[in-house]
Amino acid sequence: MRGHPPTERLLVGLTIVFLAGGCASGATPSPAGTTTPSVAVATPTVTVTPTVASTAIASGTATPTPAAPSTASPYAGPTETLQAPKPNGKDDTASIQQALNSCVAHGPGCTVQLQAGTYKTSQLVTSNFEGTLRGLTENSTTIEALPALPVNMPDPTVGGECVPNTTTCLWPTLILFVDGNIEVSDLSIRITATDGRATAPWSIGGSKYTSVLDALRFMGQQRADVSLDRVAIEGQHDKAATSLGGFNLVNGVIYTGELPRSATPFDYYMLTGSLSVRSSSFKTMYDGVGTDGFISSSEVTIGGSSSAGNHFDDVAAGIDLESAQGSVFEVSYNVSTASQYGMDVVP
């Protein structure tokens, strides 16, 4: 479907089973953040398949109060909701990062509850988060990237990548989770800066770029189980020569290993776990939802039922699935309007 004019495609009932293969360490990703594996896999099979106490966070601090277990959650231990401050209209990075950190300290069953309004943030990076990042609704709670996001990660083709953090290794990714059991729901994410102003320049292979690489990235070396429900992600067209594919956002959501385990370029850990994307929308970006080849023994569901389908509009690629060892992908009930392909599967 590459190179065809934009068309609307209803993607219903595709189950892909990767029995072997996968992306080996040392494979080189394209500038769009995807990888072309060189290992063949078995032929896919195709089937058709018709809360909690609250704690306010003030000035970046929180005093959690455990609550009774939530019957709606598969987690059976104490749960807790941290109420993030209302947006301040300037820079909300510190307050959201503090709330995420507080949930990590609490352990499983914690929710960061965002308020109505638009939160303006720089990069957010969290490891071993086992809870929920939740807005009120996707129409009332927005996380918006500040312009010119700072980036100081090295060129991965030269000295390898660094382990992402919020100080010495800032990736061109707005929200990044490393390992964990993560749910993101009921909010929107927007990348609004254009004309080469979305990020500070960053490099791949000596070439400079200024697009945000990912709105949401899930990666790691252990296990990441991820659910996205009712999330709307939107980028913008970008005419700058340093934009990737003519967009200020490359990937809406990406689920991948890609956590560097050494300074050797493209020497990554493999990630296991699950990804479910339901009832969400992706507009004006290069890739809507992607898996980047460095995963194994995982289950990926995009849509899954008539009530959980996703919409992909004004994208180059709606869904981009790379090979994964011993993994199962179900893609169903999604609608994609794409300039290149509604769904791309790289075995």
Which pTM was predicted?
0.82
Q: How far apart are CA 329 and CA 223, in angstroms?
A: 17
Q: What is the pLDDT of residue 256?
A: 92
Q: What is the pLDDT of residue 15?
A: 57
SS (H, E, C) 125-183: EEEEEEEEEECCCCCCEEEEECCCECCCCCCHHHHCCCCCCCCCCCCCEEEEEEEEEEE
9-46 pLDDT tens trace: 444 455 555 544 444 444 444 444 433 332 233 333 33
Say if 25 falls within a structural domain.
Answer: no
Confidence of residue 134 (pLDDT cuts 50, 70, 90): very high
Q: What is the pLDDT of residue 4?
A: 35
223-251 pLDDT tens trace: 999 999 999 999 999 999 999 999 999 99
Q: How far apart are CA 331 and CA 14, in angstroms?
A: 5
Say if 168 falls within a structural domain.
Answer: yes
Say if 82 falls within a structural domain.
Answer: no
Q: What is the pLDDT of residue 66?
A: 38
Q: Which domain holds residue 283?
A: 114-312
Say if 96 falls within a structural domain.
Answer: no
Number of domains in the chain: 1
Say if 238 falls within a structural domain.
Answer: yes
